[in-house]
Amino acid sequence: MIKSSQTASQTASTLLLLLPLLALPAMSGAQALPAASAAPISTGFALPSSAGTLQYALSASQSLTSNYLGNAGVASSTGLNGDLAFITNSPLDPFSAVFTGGRSWSTSGQPSYNYLNLSLSQAVNTHRWIFLLSDAVNYMPQTASTGLSGIPGAGDLGVIPVPTGITPAPTSANPGQGVLSGFSNRVANTSSLSLQRQITGKTSLNASGSYFLTRFLNNSGSSTVPSSAGLDSDGDSASAGLSHRIDARNSLAGNFTYARNTYSGTSSGIRQPGFSSQTASLQYAHQFTRKLGAVAAAGPQWTSIDSPGLTPALSLFANLSANYTGEFSHASVAYSRSTNSGFGVVGGAISNSVTFSAGHTYDRVWLVALTAAYTQTSNLPSAVTLPFTFHTTVAGVQVSRALARTLSAYASYTLQKQSNQGTATTVDLFSGLSNVAGFGLTFSPSAVRLGGHS
């Protein structure tokens, strides 16, 4: 019992550092500074790296965009963005919150818009049992693209997405880059509960359940950029599995997941049928060095569509990733293949996605961040949907320079390209090439210590 309690406490300590990451990106390793430095020098917003701290930032930006929200020509906009994140210092039951949001004012007759992302999480450790309850909500004017906010040019490209949850997490796929749409305001919410039961010192039982929804809002757009409703969806999933730590560097996990999606809207005037998927997978993780690790997961995935005459289809689920985190650098690459809800564009899809991100800090005052993603999205076979394929590419680079310990400037460039063949939908789909150049200032003080929390 003593050994199991120690193991649970160690797991809780791991969760303590993971909780701020839930549903939002993690702090870039590229923003680390030498321990000997007198005080941190800010090159932009970073999530808290220790318990009992709060981090915040304010940014002002100016952007130039070609093919703005699918509209031909060049548009300019001015933006204000705020970021805030904190984690309590409770060793057993930590609570965390991450917020990012802002407004973009168009100065060239195009739509102005608001956006926000909020993530909350609470962990509860009861010796061998660890529970993790989380909720994430976001309001976006279009498909999320790059950075913490999902808005190109907002100045948060150095904060990168990572998989989150109880460690070792049940197998799940990185959804990759979503299908790009034009001006289509949407609200999305995901609530989840996951638990871990320590069976032995090296073996644990993992289980989770989640519910998510997407709702497209009526909005007028503009005379040149019409706005149209997307495909509203609801979904739920449940999973269970076993994880076993072989040694300090190797671990195995087996997992089974059931997921279901339903649609309340229409696509091209046709009501979309729901679908369910069942996935059995085996995951292997290896830590090559303290800084470099890799995870590989794969297995069969059965998909059933609520349409007469269709039999369950068998496909491959895969999720492969490698991550490097150093004192001044980070890099990650991932490949995923899995079904998904269709990003509000179509009633169910299967995607192959490759993502890459990297960052490096130079001379403590320069931060260079890179990100790139390519996703091929195809429809699930259905009697009411014509075949389609989307090819989506998003790439971005940002250079930040500290001007003072709490003030930095940045310049960024984002490329978005998408082509599609096949079905048309009620969503104002993006097609073609868009370029976004962003410039701005970020005020980001050192972390603020919070009071006690029990």
Print burial letters for 248-282: b (CB count within 10 Å at least 16), e (below 16): eeebebbbebebbbbbebebeeeebbbbbbebebe
Nearest to 243 by CA among 208, 292, 278, 192: 208
pLDDT of amino acid 165: 43
| Local confidence pLDDT in tens for the 454 residues of the chain | 444 444 444 443 433 333 333 333 333 333 333 433 455 688 889 888 788 889 999 999 999 998 877 677 788 999 999 999 998 888 788 898 999 999 999 887 778 899 999 999 999 988 788 999 999 999 998 888 888 898 998 988 877 544 344 444 445 566 678 888 888 889 999 999 999 998 988 999 999 999 999 998 865 444 444 445 678 899 999 999 999 999 999 999 999 999 999 988 665 556 788 899 999 999 999 999 999 999 999 999 999 998 777 788 899 999 999 999 888 888 999 999 999 988 888 888 899 999 999 999 998 899 999 999 999 998 887 656 677 889 999 999 999 999 998 999 999 999 999 998 775 555 668 888 999 999 999 999 988 888 654 4
pLDDT of amino acid 177: 85
Where on the phi/psi map is residue 275: left (φ > 0), alpha (ψ -120 to 50), or beta? beta
For the full predicted model, state whether its pTM sits above 0.85: no
Query: Residue 245 is encoded by which pair of tokens?
Result: 């730590």
Instruction: Decide if 156 contacts 83 (C-beta within 8 A).
Output: yes
CA dihedral 6, 10, 12, 14 (to 10 degrees): 180
Q: Where are the domains of the chain?
A: 2-449
In order of 14, 16, 214, 304, 430, the CA distances from 227 in angstroms are 44, 42, 17, 32, 12
How far is Cα 238 from Cα 76, in angstroms, rounded to an integer? 44
The second-level CATH assignment, the architecture, of 2-449 is Beta Barrel (2.40)
pLDDT of amino acid 229: 66
pLDDT of amino acid 269: 59
Residue in the block written with tokens 């019992």: 1
Instruction: Decide if 116 contacts 103 (C-beta within 8 A).
Output: no
